[in-house]
Amino acid sequence: MTQSPTIVFDLDGTLVDTAPDLISALNFVLEREGLPPMPLQSARNLIGAGARKLIERGLESEGRVMTVKEIDRLTTDFIDYYASHIAVTSRPFEGLERALDDLTENGCRLAVCTNKLEFLSKRLLDELGLSGRFAAICGADTFGVAKPDPAILKQTVARAGGTLSSTIMVGDAGTDIGVARRAGVPVIGVSFGYTDVPIAELKPDLLINHMRDLPAAVGELNSRFLSV
């Protein structure tokens, strides 16, 4: 007998292709500093550790060094711009909504655990009509810790009403694999997200190439790890 698990998703690069709007916001602040805009394709893999880290990586790629106070200012400006342009071109990955439907119909509880700020995460999912699907939407500021610290995943699961022993993580990058390993839960990697290290090299328990494959992957891990 198996139990229906809590499925916890990363957001950027896992649920939603947010790169165009994030890089647009990055280029907004870079260009104001007299720096050239970053091409979308090369900048995609800078995403994943929050706004400040994205800006730091963008500056580093241009060989620009700034003070902590200057980066604070750019981060505030980035967040203000991004909040107002959060879903201009961001869209759910193909097959996502059908996969979420299937998981929900099979009794799964769904949650989001992201290093994006909570209010930005909720605003994005609201704009895309997805918020209501998730029992909890938690960001890097929700509990004061970010992935891969296992506390953020543990508290997200608790807020969603789930139990860690019946949780599966889904993500696209090292922070997702890391938080799952540290929390002791199985993890599904997606190959279409944002990562500077190929997701296969990070050795998730299963790897999918399309959201249509997610329900079957959840079913396999549910049987392999969560059987009771």
Instruction: Identify the CATH number of the domain in which residue 42 sits.
Output: 1.10.150.240
Total Cβ atoms within 10 A of residue 126: 14
Assess whether 57 and 158 both reside in one domain.
no
Mark whether 10 is an active-site residue: yes
Tally of CA atoms within 13 A in the half-sphere of 2 that contains its CB: 18
CATH classification of the domain holding 118: 3.40.50.1000
Assess whether 193 and 80 both reside in one domain.
no
Q: Which letter does DSSP use for residue 184 in this model?
A: T
Closest to 191 in 3D by CA, of 181, 201, 183: 201
Q: Is residue 1 assigned to a domain?
A: no
Residues 6 or more apart whose CB falls under 8 angstroms from that of 109 comprise 4, 5, 6, 7, 135, 160, 161, 162
Assess whether 25 and 12 both reside in one domain.
no
pTM value is: 0.92
Ordered per-residue pLDDT tens for the chain, 228 residues? 356 799 999 999 999 999 999 999 999 988 888 888 888 887 887 887 778 888 888 888 777 788 889 889 999 999 999 999 999 999 999 999 999 999 999 999 999 999 999 999 999 999 999 999 999 999 999 999 999 999 999 999 999 999 999 999 999 999 999 999 999 999 999 999 998 899 999 999 999 999 999 999 999 999 988 765
Assess whether 95 and 117 both reside in one domain.
yes
Closest to 108 in 3D by CA, of 7, 1, 211: 7
Assess whether 40 and 152 both reside in one domain.
no
Which helix H or strand E contains 158, and what residues bound it? helix 150-160
Assess whether 146 and 198 both reside in one domain.
yes
Strands 6-9 and 91-92: unpaired
By residue range, what is the domain housing residue 51?
A: 19-84
Assess whether 42 and 136 both reside in one domain.
no
Residue 1 is predicted with a pLDDT of: 37
The three-class DSSP label of residue 92 is: strand
Residue 212 is predicted with a pLDDT of: 97
Task: Indicate the number of domains in the chain.
Answer: 2
Residue 227 is predicted with a pLDDT of: 60
Residue 2 is predicted with a pLDDT of: 53
Assess whether 152 and 216 both reside in one domain.
yes
Q: Is residue 188 assigned to a domain?
A: yes
Q: Is residue 176 assigned to a domain?
A: yes
Assess whether 39 and 60 both reside in one domain.
yes
**The one catalytic residue among 10, 21, 172, 205:** 10
